[in-house]
Chain A
């Protein structure tokens, strides 16, 4: 497998000439970021001028198409997770805009962004996102219930997801009674149960061995594909990135190497076939 190119990123001044991603008249991104800057020092100490120090995001442009899968790679501290958090509306960038279906999410109230995350986005993290007190079925049902679905309907739907993930037998088990791979599969089911437009995955296989990681990634991509959801995966692992149709690399807060991966595994086996 070819590694993503590790060439140095262009200087900030050259960011404006970053290659535009898959620009065409027909293609419109579901999620877009323009000239994003994230300066944690300026956020924590108001009045601090931007740019006198290392920026977590340094004038980043990004676009994600409907149903597209993108891997964000880069060394530790390069700003990958900050980019993911900014795209998902978790943090407000110091400057720049993030648009979802043409709406600037920076202008939304906190409540509206929370609602957006609940209804339109799904999240899979490295670990620890399942509530330890809830059994698997209720962990999956939770986001649907948060959106007002009654308990019975939400748990019925969650059972279907458990069946799809091959984990029906673990419906009443709590996260502490499951393996890491099982927990990640539950997390995937939980992220996709609300039929999100975009799934954000931050090191989803970081706590798993390679074989389990591949299995989990396969499930995530297949389920997202079946649901028509776009996926943004933050990862260090080129094997994980290989599941995506495109890989971008971050270094020192800059998005420096967009690259198309026509060879990526974009076709998936139907769920449950394995």
Chain B
């Protein structure tokens, strides 16, 4: 039997199962990731459109390739102090920085979607192996599943991008609204995005399968794995220390002969390094907190939640990693809130005032995108874990565990790591920004912006938890045919 025939056998209409539900979750995640990616890309395209004489990326980088006649008009605009075009390249640079910050939450969501697409099929694949399917067939079947879901999800995401466009067109940057032409990334980019998401899903599913060897006897039983090492934390603390020292004494860099541009590059580089390292220490921080709480849990729900975290700290971290990174971004962009409020004092048409105000809007927008990416990621992971643990839930309910306790256990499983990483993530980003913007950091607008970001993250996680509780409510935990 060919792999395609096997795939069709498992996807006959009218069959609803746990793997069907997780497929739907994976499709939602792929769709959200694609829609947000294209929307952000559309924004960057808009800024490039505005920063280029003939509205192309090539012309922005190299004036010799610009369309004839466009360059003179553009130069005239750039020379005019009242024209926002004078700051256009600054907008492109900041949009690029925002995109870089969004890469990690985006990768977290795409990764969780791909994992969902490839996982929870262990039993089915083991049964297939037992029935005589080759490893190659099983791998191809899983890859086909993941790629199929990615394709469906990314097509829905493209529709989502089109649906979001009118909302983005309401935003004002450089004192004008975006037009469809500015936000439209073009058919080739859309096709490349859809293909890219499918390839990402394929690669990720193959990597997941490599870790889970599907033998005819199924997967290995669950035993305690090694917990993350503290070396990661030491690396992170060292990087933070060096960054804070450098940010406090920028003159030090000047002594090394670094120019202004390099100075900015180093600062941005360190922010991104700490951001990346934060992703590395996440599971260690989560483990440390769960270990301290499991010594004397206050109730059964806490005990179950902490043990689940310690069972797989990486999974626990993945549930909240997007939010944690969004909080980190909230810390970085909180300064934008201050800049935005400072701009309100100046003339609304003055390009520098406009630039500051737009940084405020852009920072907020970056945070919203990061938070939405993170919330979808967290919600999808939580709902996925409900399906993952359906048999355990069933047993616990049979033995007299009330559903409220199970829901609470799942919520604590997300909330405990979230609280820890919010404190660590928020604290670290504020610590990094403090030497750079010492005065602004204590301003009410900055703190309000930061606290608003935190509130947004918690609210979105609560939405994810609510969604997973709805999923749990819809599970048939007791009313099913007994195995007589």
Contact = CB atoms under 8 A, between A and B. Distances in A.
Interface of A: 40, 43, 56, 76-82, 84-85, 88, 90-92, 111, 114-119, 121, 123, 125, 128-129, 131-134, 138, 142-143, 145-146, 151-152, 174-177
Contact of B297 (A132, A133, A151): A151
A40 B476 CA distance: 14
Interface residues of B, number: 32
Interface of B: 221-224, 296-300, 303-304, 307-308, 310-311, 391-392, 395-402, 405, 478-479, 481-484
Given A114-B402, A151-B303, A152-B296, A128 B395 contact: yes
B391 A128 contact: yes
B341 to A, nearest CB: 48
Nearest to B307: A133
A94 to B, nearest CB: 12
B292 to A, nearest CB: 14
A174 B484 contact: no
A54 B84 CA distance: 79
A146 B484 contact: no
A131 B307 contact: yes
A115 B400 contact: yes
A172 B478 CA distance: 31
Contacts of B481: 40, 56, 82
Contacts of A121: 400
A56 B400 contact: no
A131 B483 contact: no
A132 B311 contact: yes
6 contacts: A77-B484, A131-B307, A133-B307, A142-B304, A145-B303, A146-B400
Contacts of A129: 395, 399
B222 A119 contact: no
A177 B308 CA distance: 16
A125 B399 CA distance: 10
Nearest to B396: A131
B310 to A, nearest CB: 7
Nearest to B309: A133
Contacts of B395: 125, 128-129
A138 B392 CA distance: 15
Task: Report which residue of B296, B310, B398, B479 has the largest number of chain A beta carbons within 10 angstroms of its beta carbon.
Answer: B398
A158 B223 CA distance: 21
Nearest to A38: B482
A82 B298 CA distance: 36
A174 B401 contact: no
A142 B303 contact: yes
Contacts of B391: 128
Given A56-B481, A118-B399, 17 more contacts: A77-B484, A80-B484, A82-B484, A84-B482, A85-B482, A119-B400, A132-B392, A133-B304, A138-B307, A142-B303, A143-B400, A145-B300, A146-B300, A146-B400, A151-B299, A174-B224, A176-B222
